[in-house]
Amino acid sequence: MKWSNYQQKIFESIAPSHNMLIEAVAGSGKTTTIIEIVKLLKKKGLVSRNNGNGLVCAFNKHIEVTLSQKIKGTKFVSKTLNAIGHGILVRHSYPRQIKINTNKYYSICEQVIDYFSPSYLFELKLKGLVNAEYKGKKNGVIGFERLKARRKSDYPYVFDEFNDFVQVVNTCRKEYSKHFLSIEDLQNLMAEYPLEISDYLKKKELHQTIAVEAINKALEYGINSYLNESTIDFSDQLWLPLTMGLFPITKYDWIIVDESQDLNLNQARLIKVLGKSSSTYIFVGDSKQSIYLFNGAKPDCMSLIKKYFNCNKYPLSLCYRCPPNHLKLAKEYNPQIEAFKQEDGLIKQLTITEVRDLVKGCYQTGTEILLISRLNYIFFDVLCQCAFGDKIKVSLLGKDLAGELVKLARQILPSRFTDFSKINQILNGYVEYYSEQMDSSKADYCKCLMSTWRYIEPSTINDLENVLNSVIISEGVIKFGSIHRAKGTESDHVVILGDNLLPYIPTNRELTSKETQQEENLTYVAFTRSKKNLYLVPYTNGNDEHREVELNLNDDNIFGADINYGF
């Protein structure tokens, strides 16, 4: 294989104790470069049978498996950071078996409220912990809404909603490696992230004191839950080893980190723990593809890594994937990207009818096509048209969105409810409700459900589940997904649905500088998926109705939710 000048420079510069930060643009062959680095280290005897060992940190389980196959026969292993942290916790809890509970801190935060408030309605107001009446039972058809604000002016408060408290606790475990926070730590957190918190908490030190006390109590309960019950969630796999000073048995001489732009601070800290004083670190990533702010990954993560690990920076700027005219769109967001290909590809604007015709043609010929959008319900509406109107089997990128929709339908539509003719009116009400509650994922999912009922009329929720399962398959040539989920994918034919919404700008609030950068990064990701043909489909919906559903810049979970990225 003929290597680019950028790659040759990287290979020539590899040396012990020479830490490297490789800025690899989209489609630059970074995985191929990582594998070649591993082979070179073996060839040079720097990591061989009798000398040294190495680790390739993978972003998720799928990448871990792929890299493991390609570096087989070397002294390198490929693991996710979550898997490494899990192994540390397993060793220190032996012989007890680790139990994973993704709702662990939701329950813990309820316990913290119990701790501060033996009598909910009186003590909560006195302590100022939340602005709400505590709802221990389900609240009508809404269900599972633990706290609902009633009279905000009645008393000062710290958190508007119970979920806001959970959100802050989860974010702390990604930002800090300690379990005792100060007011200054909380202030830094509020300045850094778009947290859903009350104005009182932003402005009044008394409320910050109460909040820190509650957060620290939740963190204390989290540690005790591991020590006494061996219960953890996915964020615990990183946070607990660091905050408790638990160390791995194996440390590595060479550590290569893939997708470095998506590291949060605790992941970076764990990487440091996995090394020796003489270890060499090689970080590979694209700062313009940092799109996981909700998981604590900062848009300037690569710059922080360069400083923290004292790295020398190397560019990998040649894109082998996209035609030159496609990269002209991407260059607005990353001027460093260069085209390897000489011939331009197709860029064409389509209507929804033309998109459906294109999808039908690809389906009949078995040609892969990727259809993506910033907001879930935009691509899901087109998915429904193709699946139900054109009888086409489709696939979804990433998680089981169909399952999440059915789950939400069961929550908001009780089994006794049978009048599905009013479903649109009911779902519209929930869109408004969840938007007011700033639960953007559920508002988005409600719009997806509205698309479903627009094209089919299931008589029960079980029928809804069966119909979705009948048209959505695990592997197919017609692939739909969000831009978040499309990262790491490519296709000859890419359709960007709602390209006129990029970069996405909410109208109900100003974005922070980091949020603005992340939206620009998402636009860059969208424009760098295509290998041949790029189709742009403007989104129109009456009076720009889509902007009624304002997102927290996370198409999957509320900000700070517990997410499994690799175990």
pLDDT at residue 111 above 50?
A: yes
pLDDT of residue 156: 40
pLDDT at residue 460 above 70?
A: yes
pLDDT of residue 204: 67
Quick one: pLDDT band at residue 126, thresholds 50, 70, 90? very low
Give the predicted TM-score (pTM) of the model: 0.85
Out of 3.90.320.10, 3.40.120.10, 3.40.1190.20, 3.40.50.300, the CATH code matching 346-393+476-557 is: 3.40.50.300
Residues 38-77 pLDDT 10s: 999 999 999 987 789 999 999 889 899 999 999 999 999 9
Residues of the chain with CATH 3.40.50.300: 5-91+240-319, 346-393+476-557
Residues 131-178 pLDDT 10s: 444 333 333 222 223 333 333 333 345 666 677 888 899 999 999 999
Q: What percentage of the chain exceeds 70 in pLDDT?
A: 83
Q: How far apart are CA 280 and CA 532, in angstroms?
A: 39
Residue identified by tokens 């040759």 is 8
CB burial of residue 555 (10 Å; 0-12, 13-18, 19+): buried
Q: What value does the CA radius of gyration of the chain take, rounded to a whole number of Å? A: 25
Tell me if 479 is assigned to a ligand binding site.
no
Are β-strands 133-134 and 147-148 bridged in parallel, bridged antiparallel, or unpaired? antiparallel
Tell me if 27 is assigned to a ligand binding site.
yes
pLDDT of residue 175: 94
Task: Determine the 3-state secondary structure of 226 from DSSP.
Answer: helix
Q: Look at 7-21, 423-437, 446-460 and tell me which has the smallest mean pLDDT.
A: 423-437
Task: Determine the 3-state secondary structure of 397 from DSSP.
Answer: coil
Please spell the DSSP secondary structure of 432-485, one letter per residue: HHHHHTT-HHHHHHHHHHHHHHHH---SSHHHHHHHHHHHB-SS-SEEEEEHHH
Output 409 or 285, whichever has higher pLDDT: 285
Instruction: Give the number of other CB atoms < 10 A from CB of residue 423.
Output: 20
Tell me if 402 is assigned to a ligand binding site.
no
Tell me if 498 is assigned to a ligand binding site.
no
Q: Look at 113-127, 376-390, 455-469 and tell me which has the smallest mean pLDDT.
A: 113-127
**How confident is the prediction for the chain on average, in pLDDT?**
84
Residue identified by tokens 């009798």 is 50
Tell me if 330 is assigned to a ligand binding site.
no
- Average pLDDT for residues 487-512, to the nearest whole number? 89
Residues 523-539 pLDDT 10s: 999 999 999 999 999 99
> What is the DSSP secondary structure assignment for residue 32, as one 8-state letter?
H
Quick one: pLDDT band at residue 117, thresholds 50, 70, 90? low
Residue identified by tokens 């073996």 is 42
Quick one: pLDDT band at residue 123, thresholds 50, 70, 90? very low
Please spell the DSSP secondary structure of 235-297, one letter per residue: THHHHHHHHTT---S--EEEEEESSGGG--HHHHHHHHHHEEEEEEEEEEE-GGG---GGGT-
> What is the DSSP secondary structure assignment for residue 299, as one 8-state letter?
T
Q: Per CATH, is 5-91+240-319 categorized as 2.60.200.20?
A: no
Task: Determine the 3-state secondary structure of 525 from DSSP.
Answer: helix
Residues 474-498 pLDDT 10s: 889 999 999 999 999 999 999 999 9
Quick one: pLDDT band at residue 545, thresholds 50, 70, 90? very low
Q: Using an 8 Å Cβ cutoff, are 116 and 124 in contact? A: yes
- Which residues make beta-bridge pairs with 371? 480, 495
pLDDT of residue 202: 67
- Average pLDDT for residues 25-50, to the nearest whole number? 93
Residues 6+ apart with CB under 8 A from 196: 160, 161, 163, 164, 167, 438, 552, 559
Q: How far apart are CA 216 and CA 430, in angstroms?
A: 34
CA nearest to 465, candidates 446, 484, 478, 452:
452
- Average pLDDT for residues 248-274, to the nearest whole number? 95
pLDDT of residue 508: 61
Output 457 or 272, whichever has higher pLDDT: 272
Tell me if 389 is assigned to a ligand binding site.
no
Q: How many CA atoms lie within 13 A of 158 on its CB side?
A: 25
Interhelix angle 183-192/205-229, nearest 10 degrees: 100
Output 222 or 200, whichever has higher pLDDT: 222
Tell me if 25 is assigned to a ligand binding site.
yes
Quick one: pLDDT band at residue 125, thresholds 50, 70, 90? very low
- Average pLDDT for residues 439-446, to the nearest whole number? 84
Task: Determine the 3-state secondary structure of 217 from DSSP.
Answer: helix
pLDDT at residue 550 above 80?
A: no
